[in-house]
A and B are shown apart, each in its own frame.
Chain A
Amino acid sequence: MDNGKSNLYDWMMNLDRRWVYLVIGVVVTLTAIAPFKVPVYVTPEVRNIYNFVESMEPGEVLMIGVDYAPEAMAELHPMNYAITRQCFAKGIKLLLCCLHQNGPGMVEQVIAQVSKEYDKVNGVDYVYLGYKPYPAITILAMGQNFRIPFPEDYYGTSLDSLPMMRNIVNFDNVQAIINISAGSATEYWINYANGRYNAKLAIGVTGVMTSDYYPFLQSGQIFGIIGGMKGAAEYEDLAEKGGYISRKKDQLTAFKSMPIQTTTHIVVILFIVLGNVGYFMSKKVK
């Protein structure tokens, strides 16, 4: 009897990883097929960013630094879309740049789609500066003048000939910067854009990166954090309540993915519990 129990506990402890993969795969698929509503608790660090954008006047300029590649799309694209839609709906002008080599396509995807939705014109309502390597150098140079690292925009037009850029020289002329990033670029934005040039900064990062940046939130170097898909869902929730995005138009992508993330987390927790029960019970039997 004890031998049978011991075998069961050993099985619980040393489950073949293929079972884990199978269960995760089944749970993700089932939740995608039959989603349910997950309530989202909005954290103050996300609300701060939303409220800041909300407080901006039409014609003011917000800068978005997009520093992620397709691998982080699922987490970061939704917040990028939500912020861009909120800004365009409010008549806020956007200045975009990219410091990740695979990021230009990400910006292009968002801006091409959302500008069409709101009839916004390149050079008048938004300017996409494009990509430059070496984030630290580029940020330092932008702090002097956007024209140093980016004499032309992404599409090859001289910045001086763009109406929106007439009165924009450097970070002093943008109300705030939101850096959406899946890598180390965020540290450069904090160190140089905020540290050296005192730019008002908020960040949107992947879930695993979020805990790294809480010290900067407390120290006041950043005024908000949107953490991963959960943070994006919080932002979408606020943006939907504000009337900037709509469920009917399928614009709440992070919110829609929350059930999958929720069930996957529950399954992971259950596996951890299973392993630990097996571990303690086998110790007891032995």
Chain B
Amino acid sequence: MRRVMPFTIVTVTGLFMLVQYFIPREEFEWLYEWTLDWIIVIGCFAMLLGLWSMTYVSVSKVRRKIPGWGYNVITLAGLFFVLIVGFVPGQASLVRGSAFMHLFEYIYIPVQASMFSLLAFYIASAAYRAFRARTILATILLVSAIIIMLRLVPLGPLSAVNQWLANFILTVPNMAAKRAFWIGVGLGATATALKIMLGIERTYMGRD
């Protein structure tokens, strides 16, 4: 039962979502909308599960005083503080000027923006180390990267030539590679979906 039940649900819903696309009838539209509602409901429960899982893992780390447990205390404090502020009665938490939005604007935004700004330093260092013309392929990558980067740099009369080259790289070799990649992803996703619906792929049940 523990294997048959999930397999039946996955196969039936998978086949339905596939078939309904080709049958433009009102009953199928209704069923389709009903399925979408179900996905949202299941997703909400998955969020609760995530919340529980994070709390459980953090609390157990704090209890056992695992190295770095202080960070878990901060995680839990942040999680529940924001949660409580979001539920403060008598105020709409998502409107500008509310305590919740103050937390978002004055703590979350600066923290995240600062974290991301650090990327400039890491990318510069990584580019310096990685872009070495050791092989022909590495040289092609290096030259392409420089042309694309120079797109942002005013080069006087050479700007037009560089723009043309950058556009060529983006719209011809890049596009061909991306297209091949996307076709591969599409075929892979279709194959995986079929394997799941036919019961060949069962790792989602928690065992192979």
Interface residues in chain A, defined as those with a beta carbon under 8 Å from any beta carbon in chain B: 15, 17, 20-21, 24-25, 28, 38-39, 41, 43, 69-74, 102, 104-105, 108-109, 112, 130, 132-134, 137, 140-141, 144, 148-149, 154-156, 210-212, 214-215, 218, 230, 258, 261-262, 264-269, 271-272, 274-276, 279-280
Contacts and interface: CB of A to CB of B under 8 A. Distances in A.
B163 interface: yes
B109 interface: yes
B146 A269 contact: yes
Given A25-B121, A148-B36, A268-B149, 16 more contacts: A20-B125, A20-B128, A39-B154, A39-B159, A74-B113, A102-B112, A105-B105, A112-B96, A133-B47, A134-B40, A137-B43, A155-B92, A212-B178, A214-B175, A215-B179, A218-B175
Given A71-B115, A258-B152, A269-B146, A109 B127 contact: no
A271 B124 contact: yes
A109 B96 contact: yes
B96 to A, nearest CB: 5
Contacts of A230: 151-152
A141 B33 contact: yes
B150 A70 contact: no
A152 to B, nearest CB: 12
Interface residues of B, number: 54
Nearest to B101: A105
B116 interface: yes
A134 B175 contact: no
B153 A268 contact: no
B94 interface: yes
Nearest to B180: A215
B131 interface: yes
Contacts of A39: 154, 159
10 A-B pairs with the lowest CB-CB distances in the bound complex, closest first: A71-B116, A271-B128, A70-B112, A70-B109, A17-B125, A105-B104, A20-B125, A71-B112, A272-B131, A21-B121
B195 interface: no
A39 B159 CA distance: 10
A108 to B, nearest CB: 5
Nearest to B109: A70
A137 B38 CA distance: 10
Contact of B33 (A28, A148, A214, A269): A148
A276 B116 contact: no
B121 A262 contact: no
Contacts of B40: 132-134, 137, 149
A202 B89 CA distance: 40
